[in-house]
């Protein structure tokens, strides 16, 4: 009888700490360079540009096409009648999500000409970076992304004398807006040089205004604190809810102001809610493995929840990376015959990474190795380096528009609970993040039948409990089409919800939030697969918050007979309340 093959380690042999001296020198050199590029591999960028230049230099048809487009675009811009077409509309329109030229002042000369000339350049480069026959598709996407980033930097909206909003505001205030802007810039430069954290936003104190739902920490280990929230109803559903947040940011994105807190919403509807709060790792935690987040996180929390609510199955919910981890944990539990889960809910969480959006553009062997060397040197992926990566994905909104508003118009970003949370960043351990990048992003092992836990491969198709999955329409981190691929790798009951909003704003979508809607449908066991585009074209649309749909779904999958709330913790089983929520880990910087 032959022995079943097991999966190879998530780190290559070259990642061993017993490195020859020359290899060590190579890593130190790359790590030093990576600090100046925020972990972006120069080779990954240069290779993409070389691939594009090589192919376009051997494509006379594309060259002629681009030359003709340039002439046509120039002719449109230089018409004596101005930049308007025969129907009165400008020939070049920004994308729907682009708000840089939304002010009516941009439709007046000469500003209209400048914005039209810029939009014509964007359109030309979109055509110039379309993939050519034989060209690597990822290289083409990288070049298109980098070209867009460079164009964003020279947009007339960023240049004071070309932006009518800035000109008008400067004249109106006699330059006071520029004085305030320079003061804002000086404060930000000082904070960066002094390596100070982002200034806290007054009115949003953790544990008082946000992350303030009453509860107790009932369990703590080296990686997590487990919060049990106090009931607010006389009776509760028998099945508790365990939430597994991502450890890329603090957990309380799901417990913001009371009226925007998903935790409080569940508690007020009779659910007993538990929440994992992850410890913020330091360089000393460099060797924490990805699977430790499963064993010391999800499984340890399940043990504590089982002690407080014995003989009750659990509704598990995972958000973003926490959802990916929950899917891995659920598949492992199914393989091992552990039936403690009643349902699983995945919020903006990917299980297949073959179409993981723009985050995948620079995930190749060169980029991952370069990033690994930087983390190997630091011990962690730093908060500023993560922030830079996410900012690059939405540079219009998160970089240039913000700089224009704060440094040229002199207006600080308005205070909000979500902005306060977004500024409260965490770090990622070297080993864990390296394994995550290689095993999931780079090699896509989970849906490729090559992801092993405890030496044996797991499969999502083993998960037989009902699933509820939420994706968001404008997600730059977990594109909804990627999240939708869960349909391909499971065959159980699956309710899929697609809500408007982004990765965070779509999830924090409380009832009463204006202009919210969602599409939804339920896939039953044995139903045939429907692709994402067809699914969206034929499913129902509902107005309002998806929270209400989820609460109803949880109710339908719970025991109809409610019971008395469980005690806070279980002292007799070793899970006595330690201290009030939100605990101590959430305050770590």
What residues are annotated to the active site? Answer: 320
**Closest by CA position to 105, among listed 115, 92, 96, 119:** 115
SS3 71: helix
Phi, psi of 67 (to 5 degrees): -65, -40
Q: Which residues, other chains included, contact 12 with Cβ-Cβ below 8 Å and sequence gap of 6+?
A: 438
Distance between CA atoms of 135 and 137, rounded to whole angstroms?
Answer: 6
* Whole-angstrom distance, CA of residue 73 vs CA of residue 544: 43
Distance between CA atoms of 275 and 227, rounded to whole angstroms? Answer: 5
Residue 260: beta bridge partners? Answer: none
Whole-number Å distance between alpha carbons of 506 and 500: 6
Token pair listed for 140: 């083409």
> Residue 204 is encoded by which pair of tokens?
């949003």
SS3 216: strand
d(CA 440, CA 437): 6
For residue 543, the tally of other CB atoms under 10 A from its CB is 8
DSSP 8-state assignment for residue 570: B
Instruction: Name residues whose C-beta falls within 8 Å of residue 587's C-beta, 6 or more positions apart in sequence.
Output: 206, 207
Report CA-CA distances (Å) from 312 to 231, 305, 317, 340, 564. Answer: 17, 9, 16, 8, 13
- Going by C-alpha positions, the residue among 326, 313, 336, 554 that lies closest to residue 462 is 336
Q: Which residue has the tokens 């030359």?
A: 67
Q: Is 509 exposed, middle or buried (0-12, 13-18, 19+ CB in 10 A)?
A: buried
Cα 53 → chain centroid:
32
Instruction: Report the C-alpha gap between 91 and 105 in whole angstroms.
Output: 17
What 8-state DSSP symbol labels residue 130? S
- Rounded Cα–Cα distance for residues 117 and 159 (Å): 14
């Amino acid at each position: 009888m032959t022995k079943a093959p097991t999966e190879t380690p998530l780190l290559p042999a070259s990642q061993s700490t017993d490195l020859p001296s020359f290899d060590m020198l190579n890593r130190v050199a790359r790590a030093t360079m990576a600090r100046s590029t925020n972990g972006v591999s120069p080779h990954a960028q240069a290779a993409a540009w070389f691939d594009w230049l090589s192919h376009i230099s051997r494509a006379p048809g594309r060259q002629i096409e681009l030359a003709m487009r340039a002439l046509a675009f120039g002719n449109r811009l230089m018409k004596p009648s101005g930049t308007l077409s025969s129907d009165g509309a400008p020939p070049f329109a920004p994308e729907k999500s682009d708000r840089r030229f939304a002010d009516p002042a941009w439709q007046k000369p000469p500003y209209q000409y400048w914005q039209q000339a810029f939009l014509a350049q964007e359109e030309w480069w979109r055509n110039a970076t379309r993939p050519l026959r034989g060209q690597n598709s990822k290289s083409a996407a990288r070049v298109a992304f980098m070209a867009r980033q460079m164009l964003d930097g020279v947009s007339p909206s960023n240049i004071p004398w070309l932006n009518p909003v800035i000109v008008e505001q400067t004249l109106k205030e006699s330059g006071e807006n520029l004085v305030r802007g320079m003061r804002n810039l000086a404060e930000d430069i000082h904070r960066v040089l002094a390596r100070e954290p982002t200034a806290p936003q007054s009115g949003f104190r953790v544990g008082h205004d946000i992350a303030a739902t009453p509860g107790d920490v009932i369990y703590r280990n080296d990686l997590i604190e487990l919060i049990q929230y106090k009931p607010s109803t006389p009776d509760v559903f028998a099945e508790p809810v365990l939430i597994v947040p991502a450890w890329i940011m603090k957990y309380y994105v799901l417990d913001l102001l009371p009226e925007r807190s998903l935790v409080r919403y569940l508690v007020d509807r009779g659910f007993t809610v538990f929440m994992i709060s992850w410890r913020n790792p330091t360089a000393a935690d460099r060797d924490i493995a990805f699977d430790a987040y499963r064993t010391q996180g999800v499984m340890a929390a399940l043990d504590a929840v089982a002690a407080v609510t014995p003989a009750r199955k659990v509704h598990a919910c995972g958000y973003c990376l926490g959802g990916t981890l929950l899917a891995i944990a659920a598949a492992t539990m199914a393989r091992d015959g552990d039936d403690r889960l009643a349902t699983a809910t995945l919020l903006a969480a990917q299980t297949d990474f073959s179409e993981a959006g723009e985050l995948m553009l620079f995930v190749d062997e060169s980029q991952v190795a370069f990033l690994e060397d930087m983390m190997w040197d630091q011990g962690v992926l730093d908060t500023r380096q993560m922030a830079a990566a996410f900012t690059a994905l939405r540079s219009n909104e998160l970089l240039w528009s913000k700089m224009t508003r704060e440094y040229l118009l002199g207006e600080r970003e308005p205070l909000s609970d979500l902005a306060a949370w977004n500024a409260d960043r965490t770090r990622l351990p070297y080993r864990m993040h390296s394994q995550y990048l290689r095993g999931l992003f780079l090699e896509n092992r989970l849906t490729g039948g090559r992801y092993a836990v405890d030496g044996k491969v797991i499969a999502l198709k083993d998960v037989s409990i009902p699933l509820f999955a939420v994706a968001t329409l404008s997600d730059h981190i977990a594109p909804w089409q990627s999240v939708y691929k869960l349909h391909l790798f499971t065959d159980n009951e699956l309710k899929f919800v697609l809500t408007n909003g982004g990765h965070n704003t779509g999830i924090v979508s409380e009832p009463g939030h204006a202009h919210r809607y969602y599409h939804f449908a339920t896939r039953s066991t044995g139903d045939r697969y429907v692709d994402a585009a067809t699914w969206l074209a034929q499913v129902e649309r509902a107005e309002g918050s998806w929270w209400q749909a989820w609460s109803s779904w949880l109710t339908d999958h719970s025991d109809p007979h409610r019971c008395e709330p469980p005690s806070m913790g279980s002292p007799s089983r070793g899970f006595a309340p330690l201290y009030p929520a939100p605990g101590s880990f959430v305050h770590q910087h």
